[in-house]
Chain A
Amino acid sequence: MAPPDHRRPFKRPTISDQQRRRELSLLRQAQNRLDAQQRARCLASTVLSLEAPEPGPGPEPEPVLELELASESEYHVEEEEEGDSRSPSKEFDVRQASKLRGAEARKWFARQLMLPEWMIDVPDRLSQDWYVFARPSGKRCFVVSSNGITVSRLRNGSVLHRFPSALPGGARTRDVSGSAQSYSILDCIFHEIDQMYYVIDMVCWRGYSLYDCTAEFRFFWSNSKLNESGACDPPSQNHRYRFSLVPIYNCDENGLHAAYTGAVTYIKDGLLFYNKQAHYQTGNTPLALVWKDEKCSQYVIDTDSKGNVPRLQQVVLELQEDLKLITSDDPPVVFGCLDNDLVQKVQFAYSPTNLPFLVSLSHACTHAFIHTCVHTYTHVRISSCSIIGSNASYLWFYIKFEIELLFHPLPVRPMHRISLEVCYW
């Protein structure tokens, strides 16, 4: 006797493996079609953004390039190289790079983050062309998921965590779309207290590059994709750390107010401003800006034991191989460039008492700093400067300086209350 049509003999398999293979194939094909389609749309949107009018000229400070220092030309060269590497071959680079190990990997990844400049001026069309969001406090890192593992690397390229995640290719699971293509790169901040990765930008998703997409598109993409991937779910066996998006606002009055004063689940460390048209560019860019003040960041300024803000602020500068002098902030501020001669001298003889050298160094720094801040600040005076250490390629300067700033009100109300009397550098 046969069972009714729709009733399967209980001990027989539900569906045949052939049917399963057929369905898995269809699923794979549908996913591949979707990927191809989205890739097409994504590339298309890049073309669109090139056609769109460029943001008005002039507002972006281009501090370093204006410096009339000896190494200016070198600096240009490097900029261009980095610019070139953003072409389609970048995708390949990332995959190759994910195979790098040790020092080489550190070196490569240390160059990959997009670094904002300090906001020392208000860009034109801020309310139309920019986004703002509260920057989570924590470790900035590059999160790469591929080949079944997720690795986060700090700004200096060293590994922070190595873990399974729900990001594409981020854990060893059976993914129907699973392929070598399936890797992703996120720009994140790791927030210690709740062990959460806050995603502030998306660089690659499911194997296609968003480098050449506008911030507008990248944010839209991360907003829609991240949740879908399950990366925002609570941690589980295959997903050790939770990811979270940060609320991003248009830079109008309401948006600024929300970002500046709004409650968030994380500790704030300043505000980040992203130009909507800007592509993801490695290194410093004037199309991403950071603002910090005592209201929105706990790291804005030194205080003494009584909680008063001293007139003098201190900063440690790092001299990089390329002679750029940067602060150790995150993101760092390029303070200026030193000329070769100067460094040569330092290599030969440095000591805290070598006053003539220090004087000239002070001059160089002051010069650089004034140029950097030329639009905003009137008086910068370095009160003291000393070298605290060095090795073959690094010098750490310990510089004390005093800055007198002009009151610089931002054109929108929530910011009015900010009166910058002392810059914290």
Chain B
Amino acid sequence: MAMEVTQILLNAQSVDGAVRKHAEDNLKQFQEQNLPSFLLSLAGELANEEKPAESRKLAGLILKNALDAKEQHRKYEFVQRWLALDPSVKGQIKNCLIKTLSSPSHDARSTASQVIAKVAGIELPQKQWPELIGTLLSNIQQLPAHTKQATLETLGYICEEVSPEAVEQDNVNQILTAVVQGMNASEVNNDVRLAATRALYNALGFAQANFSNDMERDYIMRVVCEATLSPEVKIRQAAFECLVAISSTYYEKLAPYIHDIFNITAKAVKEDEEPVALQAIEFWSSICDEEIDILEEYGSDFTGDSEVPCYYFIKQALPVLVPLLLETLLKQEEDQDQDEGAWNIAMAGGTCLGLVARTVGDDIVPLVMPFIELNITKPDWRQREAATYAFGSILEGPSPEKLVPLVNVALNFMLSALMKDPSNHVKDTTAWTLGRMFEFLHGSMLETPIITPANCQQIVTVLLQSMKDVPNVAEKACGALYFLAQGYEDMGPSPSPLTPFFQDILQALYAVTRREDAGESRLRTAAYETLNEVVRCSTDDTSPMVMQLVPHIMMELHQTLEAHKLSTDEREKQNELQGLLCGCLQVIIQKLGSSEATKYVFLQYADQMMALFLRVFSCRSATAHEEAMLAIGALAYATGSGFEKYMSEFYRYLEMGLQNFEDYQVCAITVGVVGDLCRALEDKILPYCDAIMTQLLKDLSSNQLHRSVKPPIFSCFGDIALAIGENFEKYLVYAMPMLQSAAELSAHTSGADDDMTEYTNSLRNGILEAYSGIFQGFKGSPKTQLLMPYAPHILQFLDSLYMEKEMDDVVTKTAIGVLGDLADTLGSNAGPLIQQAISSKDFLNECLSSDDHMIKESAEWAKLAINRAISI
């Protein structure tokens, strides 16, 4: 058997497809026939020093994949499956794994480390495998070095895998001691020291207690700082990564070390190799993130009592930090503007400079201006580009009072540079800088406009001209136009200053989308995005021009549907284009459909448009489906009850969307469209409700569907009930128990992390919106009594939400509204029940005195309804 496994594993990596396929089938069969024996032989293979490295590694990977999966439901399944295994089998597997950590083969050790972490991820939260940490720690005391290295790596993976609560503080202390020892300069083996440094990165989240203790923290910080000076570049990089993680996790503990860290990072930025220098810059970016968050959270009333104090590290470091960052801007790479994934020291430095500007505001301006003035006219493109980049970087953060005079001077220079500078790099950055000017310093909120009737025409002319430049420059010019248009979005009813150029702008953008090279530098996407924004921000006087655009976009979409016999690559591009075109139509529908003046003319296109969208559904592309679905939702909303005529044809695609578990975004969007349809068609949606409800109920019970779609499905129940009123009766028996069990599940959040709390709140909101819609739907019907049996549970749910105290504002608002809906619909019949509920007193009173006006409003409404229910 064992021999056979080795061969199968080797065959599974064969270059011969048939052999590979056969081996994979064998493995699958083996797993299905006898899982314990399958896993055991994989562990045995991994641990066996006599086996080939390839088969050992694959055995380990298959073992790992049998313990974990990306999809939530499969992961859960695997965890249960492992926990149910015979303890003796598990014991043997674990022994094999631990043993492998001492293997001379690096691959085998490394694979075993990862598998151990997965097993730990399952067992430690269950309080199983208590001896694991002890065993590993005793490994570290032993020689040889490679065992030590693998064990430290394992500890790191374990810390990554399990949450801090699953590990006892004693064990945490021991892990940290071992890890920090391994990092120490006295550790001569670089592999061990590197593994220890990387392990510390993962273990930092466990070190809350240790970071609160001055001595322990001093020690950890000293070791980390020493590691940044290691002769080995990978160790230096890993040590800086630790510093970055510390800066965000333990910001409030950094004050005693910040001076030293500055010196270390400055040296690294100036002298060290790029991967290290990037991390050193990242440290300061991360400090900016922290301080921006703190200052934003407390706004202007920042006091000594605030939870996390702001130490103004950036402000203090400013005079030395800014010159350091400005130097990095001169280290551009030749092709960084063409390469989408590019990241280098100049880009990181600019990004950090932008964050510094947001952190300190006005103070950065005098430090940066001399650099700009010195370099902006230099013959070397690097200097001109760096100067422009520096200017663009500081446009967010400082006050308009400080910036507007500078921008007024710079604007003309930039416009002319965009036309005349010989360097594409400079033009790229110049167009981007113009975009930043418009993004942050142009709009109705600003008192002194930088764009005036005098220069508006020139700006538009230059941007439209620049849109004919090379793709990366044209893309940035589109971006600048995007913000130029956006700045006029809150204009009064008077014609927009862009009106005189509107036709030219639309034509230019449309021309860009049709450029041969529009596929480069995401130019086509940028052009459509800008077109969308220009349409969104347009005023009524230009709607005839938007209207003229409709047949063009529809024709483009039509052409994509006519193209046949495409290669995979071409098809992908075609689908992307369909997505963009559907997106553009969606924006136009929303715009022209929202004004009575244009709606009726526009809706003449509805039939044709709908036919195109339906054809898009026959192409297999999730993105295009999603966009078409969104567009249809907008169309249904604009059309109102007239949408009924499309339903018979559209319905099957709606159902397809609701069944699309794989591309859950499509499913989620489709659920939203059901809501649109309910509001557009009202009771005319009734004929489709049986099928829709069946599908929605299926979706809810599926563990394959991404969980984020489930709250909107509940909300959708409410939409349906509100649309069809008492006809919802027949679904009560299915929907109510579903809601009830979800409600029970979501009533308690204790111990959950932020993500889980957020999800729970969105689930609660969905459930409550369902109740709300159902109550209001039944209101005034003779069948309201059918809801009586559910009232006690719903009130209980509200009470438990109130007791739990972990609702966000949205849930609070919806919850108190449901209380009102219940009282409103059930009236005096529910009076005694309501009076017993805590919600109707304490919760209601709390909401009535809420600062949040939405909550207060719902509460006042609920009070009105309750008073009536009780008094009648």
- On A, residues with C-beta under 8 Å from B are 1-4, 7-13, 16-18, 21-22, 24-26, 28-29, 32-33, 36-37, 40-41, 44-45, 47-48, 51-52, 95, 147-149, 164, 171-174, 178-180, 216-217, 220, 224-225, 227-228, 236-238
Are A147 and B824 neighbours in the complex by a CB distance under 8 Å?
Answer: no
Are B633 and A13 neighbours in the complex by a CB distance under 8 Å?
Answer: no
* B252 in contact (CB, < 8 A): no
Are A25 and B634 neighbours in the complex by a CB distance under 8 Å?
Answer: yes
Docked CA distance A238–B489 (Å): 11
Are A217 and B776 neighbours in the complex by a CB distance under 8 Å?
Answer: no
- B642 → chain A closest CB, angstroms: 14
Are A1 and B676 neighbours in the complex by a CB distance under 8 Å?
Answer: no
Chain B contacts with A in 402-428, Cβ cutoff 8 A: 428
Docked CA distance A220–B853 (Å): 12
**Which residues of the other chain, A, contact B343 by a CB distance below 8 angstroms?**
1-3, 9
**Which residues of the other chain, B, contact A11 by a CB distance below 8 angstroms?**
337, 347, 428-429, 432, 476
**Which residues of the other chain, A, contact B340 by a CB distance below 8 angstroms?**
12
Are A172 and B492 neighbours in the complex by a CB distance under 8 Å?
Answer: yes
Task: List 16 other contacts, CB 8 Å, given A7-B351, A40-B722.
Answer: A1-B278, A10-B347, A10-B354, A17-B533, A25-B669, A25-B672, A26-B672, A32-B637, A33-B719, A41-B776, A44-B779, A48-B824, A174-B490, A179-B594, A216-B864, A227-B853
Docked CA distance A16–B529 (Å): 8
**Which residues of the other chain, A, contact B206 by a CB distance below 8 angstroms?**
none
Are A22 and B669 neighbours in the complex by a CB distance under 8 Å?
Answer: yes
* B493 in contact (CB, < 8 A): yes
Are A47 and B779 neighbours in the complex by a CB distance under 8 Å?
Answer: yes
Docked CA distance A227–B852 (Å): 12
Docked CA distance A164–B490 (Å): 11
**Which residues of the other chain, B, contact A32 by a CB distance below 8 angstroms?**
637, 675-676, 679
Are B769 and A33 neighbours in the complex by a CB distance under 8 Å?
Answer: yes
Docked CA distance A48–B285 (Å): 59
Docked CA distance A33–B672 (Å): 10
Are A172 and B868 neighbours in the complex by a CB distance under 8 Å?
Answer: no
**Which residues of the other chain, A, contact B626 by a CB distance below 8 angstroms?**
22
A238-B672 contact given A3-B348, A22-B630, A36-B679, CB 8 Å threshold: no
Q: How many interface residues does B have (CB within 8 Å)?
A: 89
Which of B14-22, B837-845, B855-863 binds A? Answer: B855-863
Give the 7 A-B CB pairs with smallest separation, nearest first: A17-B529, A40-B776, A224-B857, A3-B343, A180-B596, A10-B351, A172-B493
**Which residues of the other chain, A, contact B594 by a CB distance below 8 angstroms?**
178-180
- B244 → chain A closest CB, angstroms: 8
Are A180 and B599 neighbours in the complex by a CB distance under 8 Å?
Answer: yes
Docked CA distance A69–B344 (Å): 93
Are A48 and B595 neighbours in the complex by a CB distance under 8 Å?
Answer: no
**Which residues of the other chain, A, contact B244 by a CB distance below 8 angstroms?**
4
**Which residues of the other chain, B, contact A8 by a CB distance below 8 angstroms?**
351
- B146 → chain A closest CB, angstroms: 29
Are B490 and A238 neighbours in the complex by a CB distance under 8 Å?
Answer: yes
Pull 11 A–B residue pairs with CB atoms less than 8 Å apart, ordered by A. A1-B343, A13-B479, A21-B586, A25-B669, A28-B590, A37-B722, A40-B722, A147-B595, A174-B536, A180-B599, A228-B857
**Which residues of the other chain, B, contact A47 by a CB distance below 8 angstroms?**
779-780
Docked CA distance A11–B853 (Å): 39
Mask of B477-504 contacts with A, CB within 8 angstroms, 1/0 = 0010000000001111100000000000
**Which residues of the other chain, B, contact A12 by a CB distance below 8 angstroms?**
340
A28-B637 contact given A17-B583, A37-B722, A237-B444, CB 8 Å threshold: yes
**Which residues of the other chain, A, contact B676 by a CB distance below 8 angstroms?**
29, 32
Are A41 and B540 neighbours in the complex by a CB distance under 8 Å?
Answer: no
A7-B491 contact given A44-B776, A47-B779, A224-B857, CB 8 Å threshold: no
**Which residues of the other chain, B, contact A41 by a CB distance below 8 angstroms?**
776, 817, 820-821, 824, 861
**Which residues of the other chain, B, contact A45 by a CB distance below 8 angstroms?**
824, 861, 864-865
Are B679 and A21 neighbours in the complex by a CB distance under 8 Å?
Answer: no
Closest to A214 in B: B864
- B484 → chain A closest CB, angstroms: 15
**Which residues of the other chain, A, contact B865 by a CB distance below 8 angstroms?**
44-45, 48
* B274 in contact (CB, < 8 A): yes
Are B536 and A40 neighbours in the complex by a CB distance under 8 Å?
Answer: no
* B772 in contact (CB, < 8 A): yes
Docked CA distance A225–B825 (Å): 24
Docked CA distance A220–B776 (Å): 20
Docked CA distance A26–B712 (Å): 10
**Which residues of the other chain, A, contact B563 by a CB distance below 8 angstroms?**
none
**Which residues of the other chain, B, contact A33 by a CB distance below 8 angstroms?**
675, 679, 715, 718-719, 769
Are A17 and B857 neighbours in the complex by a CB distance under 8 Å?
Answer: no
- B343 → chain A closest CB, angstroms: 4
Are A148 and B493 neighbours in the complex by a CB distance under 8 Å?
Answer: yes
Docked CA distance A174–B532 (Å): 13
Other-chain contact of B537, A24, A174, A228, A236 (Cβ < 8 Å): A174
Docked CA distance A36–B715 (Å): 13
